[in-house]
Amino acid sequence: MSILEKIQLCRAEEEKLRWEGTFREYLELVKKHPHIAMPAHARIYEMIRSAGVEGGQYSFFSDELFGLDEAIKRLIEEYFHPAAKKLDVRKRILLLMGPVGGGKSTIVSKIKRGMEQFTRTDAGAVYAIKQCQMAEDPLHLIPRELRDDFFDEYGIRIEGSLSPLNAYRLEHEFGGRIEDVPVERIFFSEDKRRGIGTFSPSDPKSQDIADLTGSIDFSTIAEFGSESDPRAYRFDGELNIANRGLMEFQEMLKCDEKFLWHLLSLTQEGNFKAGRFALISADEMIIAHTNETEYRSFIADKKNEALHSRMIVMPVPYNLKVTEEEKIYEKMVHESEATDVHFAPHTFRTAAMFTILTRLKESSRANIDLVMKMKLYDGAAVEGLTGLDAAELKKEHSDEGMDGIDPRYVMNRISAAIIKKETNSINALDVLRSLKDGLDSHPSISKDVRDKYLQFISEARKQYDETAKKEVQKAFVYSYEESARAMMDNYLDNVEAYCNKTKLDDPLTGEEMTPDERLMRSIEEQIGISENAKKSFREEMLIRISAYARKGKKFDYREHDRLREAIQKKLFSDLKDVVKITTSSVAPDEQHMKKMNDVTARLIDECGYNSVSANELLRYVGGLLNR
């Protein structure tokens, strides 16, 4: 299907969704589908909830935001959900506070785009008085004295008053016949300024309050004769057009005071003042965002006390998980025009380790350093520590993640590495080098912070060195699984004989042998099993094997994390000399060349390298092993 055909199909589908009718017909719809009369906060919450909840996390944000699960969960459960139930928090401005590049704007943008799509579904359908700039709720037509009766019949509580223009139209166009007022289905669109508004402060001397509340259309004064005639007023300010949906108040705390006064009654009473009219009702969510420094300055100013209690402040810290940070960089690269650049495995991960280290705070526990903390937060196994330790560590610093290096800086340095390197292949060392070079020109980094960040770059490189060595060593094992299984079988045969106090048969001579203590210890020492602990470890292995045998299953060493690690380390240790000789030979012989070619092919086929990055990795690891 061509793009033009898809456009036609999209247009046809939207036409199917359109609905027009009288207020009488609209009431029939409300009786069948009461959810169409949802207030703004409830509609936004339903949109988020309808996307699904998995493992306690909300799927709506999962494709755009990474590592902010806890912040998002708190945001939904402490603001969106109670606001949807018409609890008092809905009368508050939602203020997202966090560091630059932490995801605040993405959260707001995601909600905006989500609402545009949701109003095109049956569950999110919105109806408004036809030809109303404010997309006014048709139920405002019900007189106040009949609203209790309406509640008794429909179970819906009506809030808000009819706007000046629609009150005029009801009287003069429809002769007060509410049932004849036309109603239409509307679709939110930020571009078309319907249901979604965005206000960004500019120079206070030139910005007009009309940007928020609308203004008089002076060209119509001669026709209508008065500035107080609602037909002479343009109800097109951001607060007007955001009615029934949400308004993003960008840089709210930088705004001039007169622009904030209107928010006082809007948040508390659900209305605001415009022109020479009575208070205008508005049902909308106000979302603002700021950084911590601006928020502290705002709070310190006594003039702003009236707004303090009308805000719900939600911290949005940086992500603190390495694997989630990787996803951020992958997403940014995917959205760029650098998709033809090859990023070697572990490139983003290494950059992410540096970034996360800059965001973490030292623990008061002497046995935990930042690298251990980073691994623990990422769900990795750290000897002597558990997930409970991670939970305790997170409680130590309430502001952890509110400063450090932001993802945009990292992407800037990745971009610099791409431009600087002649080939279209970038590895972890290229990015670390670029990150280091960029610290000198970073505008907000002091010398002390720079020195600390240089240490983090060195630490990220150490972690990469270990990963690189393991990757190459693993690639040198021609039949890695077969070799590992053979070693495991040999080890377990000896363990079984040791625990049962029996002997083994020599596979060559058939003679009885005592269990090979040297072999068993060479494997156990790889994971720090002490002489005193060897007996209990071996007994655990035997119990595990017996349990599998009872179920008719064969024990697989890969399902036991510590044994897998021990087998791999032993295998790598045995191969170290072979790797050193092969990767560091200036003029390798035919046998060495064959090994190099086989290893390169394995790195490309099984690990995700290309020919350039595979050869760079081999040269680098060869240098590491020869130090």
Q: Is the pLDDT of residue 578 over 90?
A: no
Res 222: pLDDT: 78
Closest CA to 492 of 523, 527, 529, 526: 523
Distances from the Cα of 564 to the Cαs of 295, 571, 590, 593, in angstroms? 50, 11, 33, 30
The encoded tokens of residue 515 equal: 């269990």
- CA–centroid distance for 169 within its chain: 47
Q: Mean pLDDT across the stretch 407-434?
A: 91
Mean pLDDT of the chain: 88
The encoded tokens of residue 306 equal: 């009236």
| Cβ contact 119:130 at 8 Å | no
Residues 120, 236 share a domain: yes
CB atoms within 10 A of CB 449: 15
Cα gap 351→330, rounded to integer Å: 12
Distances from the Cα of 187 to the Cαs of 14, 193, 250, 519, in angstroms? 9, 10, 23, 72
3-state secondary structure of 27: helix
Closest CA to 364 of 390, 399, 397, 391: 397
Cα gap 428→361, rounded to integer Å: 25
Q: Strand 311-315 relative to strand 93-97: parallel, antiparallel, unpaired?
A: parallel
What are 345-381's pLDDT values in tens digits?
999 999 999 999 999 999 988 889 999 999 999 988 8
Residues 474, 461 share a domain: no
What are 216-275's pLDDT values in tens digits?
888 888 778 787 888 888 898 899 999 999 999 988 887 777 777 778 888 888 888 887
Domain-terminating residue out of 266, 300, 315? 315
3-state secondary structure of 315: strand
Residues 105, 225 share a domain: yes
Looking at the structure of the chain, the number of domains it has is: 3
Domain-terminating residue out of 315, 348, 372? 315
Residues 274, 156 share a domain: yes
Res 137: pLDDT: 96
Domain-terminating residue out of 465, 493, 512? 465
The one-letter amino acid code at 116 reads E
Of 437-451, 455-469, 494-508, highest mean pLDDT: 455-469
Res 583: pLDDT: 67
The one-letter amino acid code at 68 reads L
Residues 401, 482 share a domain: no
Q: Mean pLDDT across the stretch 574-602?
A: 73
Report pTM. Answer: 0.83
The one-letter amino acid code at 536 reads S
Half-sphere exposure of 92 (CA within 13 A, CB side): 20
The one-letter amino acid code at 164 reads P
Residues 335, 267 share a domain: no
The one-letter amino acid code at 611 reads S
Res 267: pLDDT: 83
- Burial class from Cβ neighbours inside 10 Å (0-12, 13-18, 19+) for residue 105 reads middle
Q: How confident is the model at residue 123 (pLDDT cuts 50, 70, 90)?
A: very high
Distances from the Cα of 432 to the Cαs of 158, 354, 621, in angstroms? 59, 9, 16
Cα gap 511→444, rounded to integer Å: 73
Res 153: pLDDT: 94
Res 303: pLDDT: 79
CB atoms within 10 A of CB 595: 19
The encoded tokens of residue 589 equal: 């012989």
Residues 62, 37 share a domain: yes
- CA–centroid distance for 178 within its chain: 47
According to DSSP, residue 254 is labeled G
Say which CATH number the domain at 246 has.
3.40.50.300
Cα gap 214→44, rounded to integer Å: 25
The encoded tokens of residue 485 equal: 């299984």
Residues 285, 363 share a domain: no
Q: Mean pLDDT across the stretch 289-295?
A: 86
Cα gap 231→219, rounded to integer Å: 11
Res 589: pLDDT: 66
What are 200-212's pLDDT values in tens digits?
887 766 677 888 8
Cα gap 471→617, rounded to integer Å: 9
Residues 517, 402 share a domain: no
Q: Is the pLDDT of residue 577 over 90?
A: no
Q: Mean pLDDT across the stretch 433-439?
A: 92
The one-letter amino acid code at 150 reads F
Residues 461, 474 share a domain: no
Q: Is the pLDDT of residue 415 over 70?
A: yes
Res 586: pLDDT: 62
Range of the domain at 348: 322-465
The encoded tokens of residue 491 equal: 């080890």
Cα gap 580→591, rounded to integer Å: 14
Res 625: pLDDT: 76
Cα gap 241→212, rounded to integer Å: 9
Percent of the chain with pLDDT over 70: 96
Residues 275, 326 share a domain: no
Residues 542, 507 share a domain: yes
- Burial class from Cβ neighbours inside 10 Å (0-12, 13-18, 19+) for residue 359 reads buried
What are 525-549's pLDDT values in tens digits?
988 889 998 999 999 888 888 888 8
Cα gap 598→604, rounded to integer Å: 10
319-323, 455-459, 461-465, 568-572: range with lowest mean pLDDT: 568-572
What are 261-286's pLDDT values in tens digits?
778 888 888 888 887 888 889 999 99
Q: How confident is the model at residue 22 (pLDDT cuts 50, 70, 90)?
A: very high
Q: Is the pLDDT of residue 304 over 90?
A: no
